[in-house]
Structure 1
Amino acid sequence: MIALSDEYQRKKWSDLVQHRFYLSDGVRNDAFTRAIENAVDAESTVLDVGAGSGIFSLVSARSGAREVVAVEWSSLAERIDESARRNGYGDVVNVICEDIRNLVVGRPPDVVVHELIGGFLWDENFIEILDYVRKNIADNSTQFIPSVVSLYIAPFSADGEIDRLFWSEKHEGFDFSSLENVATQRPWVEVPTVVFLNNENGFLARPRNVWRWDSRDREPNMRRIRARFVAHRNGTLDGFIGFFRIEVCGGICIETRPREPVTSWGQMAIPPMRRVSVKKGDSVSFCLTPSRWPMDWNVVSVCTAR
């Protein structure tokens, strides 16, 4: 039985605007393509979990896989079937429109391809879905692509620089600088938000690896996340930035860190419990209990003077 939240997800992932965004992500697609090409041979059977547009099912077929099972629970499933036929892989790609957790597969696949990593990491429910796949469909020899996903967190200060710059400039020849103080006093983010940063100038401390999922682990890791940082500069704690390191396969990795090439994931901006001033050397603590829905996240952040 599919919960209401899952029904919402089913409709969401049939939205072609989302998939156009993903198909335009050259960093993501190049890394997955190279990983699949390295892992698949003429004897391989591939299970594509949450196949979406079907791009990685087609890559698997093009890489020579003997059979590809594309599981997609949204209405896009029939389009994957049509795309496979149009590209000459109709006899290789078998499309199933179903929730993977309702399936029982005979022979374990050689390769499981999944791209269920959401912008808020857990929001596409990849932990529960892949735990089911590992325990009920795959075996110890099955290769997962990706195989490891890590979350890094860093305390962040927006410093109001963007707002100050905007309001200090004239617009259409008029001076709006009286609004600068109002703009810079507002919280940077009030709810978890996906952002796209191009540098790490706002980081108050070095990022820390705070969470890790490994396809070889027997139980999914959903323990409370705790981290402590030492500020390397002064600033206002406006939130925390989260980014991922995705170990796709065979040394091929994707990083969504701001200094790396832009991806469709961007970074997570997580609001603090409250905004506080931080001085160099202060201790900043972060605590978060992982859950699927970011609006349910309860973040505890504490700043302690040195």
Structure 2
Amino acid sequence: MENGVIVSSKNKFDTKIEASSAKMYFHYYGQLLHQQNMLQDFVRTGTYYAAVMENRSDFEGRVVVDVGAGSGILSLFAAQAGARHVYAVEASEMAEHAQRLISGNPSLGQRITVIKGKVEEVELPEKADILISEPMGTLLVNERMLESYVIARDRFLVPGGKMFPTTGRIHMAPFSDEYLYVEMANKALFWQQHNFFGVDLTPLHGLAFQGYFSQPVVDAFDPRLLVSPPMHHTLDFTTMKEEDLYEIDIPINFVASVGTRVHGLACWFDVLFNGSTVQRWLTTAPGSPTTHWYQLRCILSQPLYVMAGQEITGRLHLVAHSAQSYTIYLTMSAKMWGEGAEQGGILQTSTAKLELKEPYYRLSQPQPYVMQQDQQQQLPSLQPQI
């Protein structure tokens, strides 16, 4: 028993996640400088604050569980909105800092209990009317905290209780960015040296080339680089099973708006706070105010050539692994356009295998706009629609 709270011996988290990854994960989030980085993302923090305060009726007099509470900021928001009691569950050493912050705000803190432990193992003295959490990682699912959010729902939430956020969507669209493609390909030029201190490095060039293209690129890009309207895949946190997050298979289908080279698939996400009073979205879309998540692009080592009106099909397949992330398997194909299209003839196919846990953070690079203006065609707004 810890702090009057029973801790169960069985811990599903530890059976799924390798110990070394968990240790690094909790060490990272146990540091104030990383919490500060998230708090200073004013799109993130401000949207959470607005979603809570605009929906006071969901919080007033209610019991709230803050899943992965971190600094405790969301617990304090819930208390400001009138929650009867908040249980702030945090597994990292940040729990001690959260307790200090909450104790330093006594008018709110008297209604908040900090519990150090994983949501998979702690027991609470009562059920929650509402869960609040910030479980999103890169591409929404990185770090696999969404699974803990769903487990917390099953363990702690009363039937019909609310979840903030309620649903999430992964958005995708093909993109064209010659500058980025050349930048990635040029990284492997080092291995094309035939006389590096008398050594021929070229036998490793192919592996190095593929290695660089196995890194998803995290940056903020111009939405005009997209070559078709986006599509999205929805995750309903209120009904989905934890196991649904082990493997996510998304068929993709687009129609190119312009003729160009397609260099891969651009991705971003948004989440909905489905409050009783106000429905509010938090989006990471290109062209919207930038968040600390930025956007993510999966680059094909072999680009596709498409014509305007040509269909682009394929599959985005995410497979979870024990290092708290996913391997991404991407297939993109450009179907024949014109004669022969009815037979479904494939003109070209390109595939990629990428590691979501090891992205290339391209945050200090220029973001040039490379598509010709006369290629432009109006694309629908990327702002979330309910």
SS of 1:127's equivalent in the other structure is: helix
Instruction: Give 1:203's match in structure 2, choosing from 223, 226, 229.
Output: 226
Letter in 2 for 1:203: L
More strand by share: 2
**Corresponding residue for 2:175?**
156
Matched, 1:68 2:68: no
Instruction: Give 1:43's match in structure 2, choosing from 61, 64, 85.
Output: 61
1:126-150 deviations in Å (ceiling 9; x for gaps): 3321221122211222110000101
Q: Contact conserved, 1:274 with 1:301, CA < 8 A, in 2?
A: no
Q: TM-score, normalised by structure 2?
A: 0.68
**Corresponding residue for 2:304?**
276
Change (3 A) 1:30 1:237: same
Matched, 1:262 2:290: yes
Distance (Å, rounded) in 1 between the aligned partners of 2:228 and 2:26: 39
Matched, 1:226 2:251: yes
Alpha-carbon offset, residue 195 of structure 1: 1.4
Q: TM-score, normalised by structure 1?
A: 0.84
Q: Contact conserved, 1:48 with 1:68, CA < 8 A, in 2?
A: yes
1:93-124 deviations in Å (ceiling 9; x for gaps): 11111111012334221110010100232112
**Corresponding residue for 1:172?**
none
Distance (Å, rounded) in 2 between the aligned partners of 1:83 and 1:233: 53
Larger radius of gyration: 2
**Corresponding residue for 1:170?**
none
Alpha-carbon offset, residue 290 of structure 1: 2.2
Instruction: Give 1:137's match in structure 2, choosing from 156, 161, 186.
Output: 156
**Corresponding residue for 2:344?**
none
1:149-205 deviations in Å (ceiling 9; x for gaps): 0111000111328979xxxxxxxxxxxxxxxxxxxxx999541232112x3111011
Distance (Å, rounded) in 2 between the aligned partners of 1:163 and 1:272: 12
Letter in 2 for 1:192: P
* Count of matched residue positions in the alignment of Structure 1 and Structure 2: 283
Structure 2 unpaired stretches of 5+: 1-10, 184-208, 338-386
CA RMSD of aligned residues (A): 2.3
Change (3 A) 1:42 1:134: closer
SS of 2:272's equivalent in the other structure is: strand
Letter in 1 for 2:331: V
Instruction: Give 2:239's match in structure 1, choosing from 217, 220, 228.
Output: 217
Map 1:80-229 → 2, pairs under 5 A: 80-88=98-106, 89-160=108-179, 190-197=214-221, 199-209=222-232, 211-220=233-242, 221-222=244-245, 223-229=248-254
Letter in 1 for 2:70: G
Runs of 4+ aligned structure 1 residues displaced above 6 Å come to 161-164
1:205-247 deviations in Å (ceiling 9; x for gaps): 11001x2111321525444111111111122222211111210
Q: Contact conserved, 2:213 with 2:301, CA < 8 A, in 1?
A: no
Most deviating of 293-302 and 150-159: 293-302
Distance (Å, rounded) in 1 between the aligned partners of 2:259 and 2:229: 14
Distance (Å, rounded) in 1 between the aligned partners of 2:181 and 2:239: 43
Q: Contact conserved, 2:319 with 2:326, CA < 8 A, in 1?
A: no
SS of 2:52's equivalent in the other structure is: helix
Letter in 1 for 2:94: L
Change (3 A) 1:141 1:256: same
Distance (Å, rounded) in 2 between the aligned partners of 1:31 and 1:113: 13
Structure 1 unpaired stretches of 5+: 165-185
Distance (Å, rounded) in 2 between the aligned partners of 1:106 and 1:218: 25
SS of 2:100's equivalent in the other structure is: helix
